């Protein structure tokens, strides 16, 4: 069987199995289902078919081709970003990528180029989702997603285990086995990365960042920050200001 024939056969199979449909809601659900699996092959087939980003996938939102492409791109990028975060992609990374993409297409004036850029980003996110899910059980993926979405709260093992539907001991063992780090270390590092972003782009002081991210005290935050990065958060902010 030739590659072209095989691709047409695979595409027909996806359509028969309901992986996508020509109604907006079913198209969205089919797209998200494939994205959640990190199924790059099927997503690539849908993109190549021209059906995924067709106007009937999101509706006719504008009589202007460029605006229609921009609205389509924002719609699909929003969905893809949400799925990526739920799969365990760091929230800051996902939202930063989405923001950069939207700013980029906002100044583009060719509809085909916008859809090409959207296709490239969706494929990249699908691969990132596949990487995030690789070797991890559903419980650990849910745990990572929950942590990413609740960094500004004080997270407890009991709360995470309850959300993931497993016992505390089970979650601790699985998490360490599948990520190579303890839950406590993972949460602390994720909070420190968020704190760095808040001090860097948000202009917050170290005390404000520590309080916003639920550290028990500023001194504990400083201790954790210095252990992770080799400098105090105050020194980091000072260096950033000097660099600007």
Q: In whole angstroms, what is the distance from residue 92 CA to residue 11 CA?
A: 34
What kind of fold does domain 183-244 have according to CATH?
Arc Repressor Mutant, subunit A (1.10.10)
Domain ranges (residues) in the chain? 3-133, 137-180, 183-244
CA distances 47 to 41, 122, 124, 148, 172, Å, are: 10, 9, 13, 29, 39
**What is residue 92's predicted lDDT score, i.e. its pLDDT?**
76
Instruction: Give the largest CA-CA distance in the chain.
Output: 66
Residue 169, phi then psi, degrees to nearest 5: -65, -40
Q: Cα Rg for the chain, rounded, in angstroms?
A: 21
Q: In whole angstroms, what is the distance from residue 130 CA to residue 126 CA?
A: 6
Exposure letters 204-233 (e unless 16+ CB within 10 A, then b): bebeebbebbebeebeebbebbeeeeeeeb
Q: What is the pLDDT along the chain (244 residues), one digit of tens a residue?
A: 444 444 444 444 444 444 444 446 677 778 888 888 889 999 998 888 887 787 666 677 788 999 999 998 998 899 888 888 877 777 778 888 999 999 999 999 999 999 999 999 999 999 988 887 777 787 888 898 889 888 999 999 999 999 999 999 999 999 999 889 999 999 999 999 999 988 887 778 889 999 999 999 999 999 999 999 999 998 888 776 666 5
């Amino acid at each position: 069987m030739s590659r072209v024939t095989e691709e047409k056969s695979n595409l027909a199979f996806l359509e028969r199995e309901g992986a996508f449909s020509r109604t907006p809601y079913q198209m969205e659900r089919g797209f998200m289902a494939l994205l959640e699996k990190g199924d790059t092959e099927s997503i690539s087939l849908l993109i190549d078919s021209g059906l995924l980003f067709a106007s009937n996938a999101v509706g006719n939102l504008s009589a202007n081709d460029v605006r229609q492409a921009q609205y389509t791109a924002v719609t699909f990028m929003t969905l893809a970003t949400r799925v990526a975060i739920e799969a365990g992609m760091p929230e800051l990374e996902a939202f930063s990528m989405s923001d950069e993409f939207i700013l980029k297409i906002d100044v583009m004036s060719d509809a085909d180029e916008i859809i090409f850029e959207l296709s490239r980003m969706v494929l990249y996110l699908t691969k990132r989702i596949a990487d995030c899910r690789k070797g991890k059980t559903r419980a650990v993926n849910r745990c990572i997603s929950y942590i990413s979405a609740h960094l500004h709260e004080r997270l407890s093992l009991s709360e995470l285990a309850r959300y993931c539907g497993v016992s505390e001991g089970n979650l601790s063992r699985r998490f360490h086995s599948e990520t190579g780090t303890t839950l406590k270390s993972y949460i602390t590092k994720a909070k420190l990365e968020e704190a760095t972003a808040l001090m860097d782009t948000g202009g917050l002081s170290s005390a404000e960042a520590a309080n916003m991210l639920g550290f028990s005290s500023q001194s504990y935050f400083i201790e954790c920050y210095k252990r992770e990065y080799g400098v105090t958060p105050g020194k980091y902010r000072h260096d950033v200001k000097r660099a600007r």
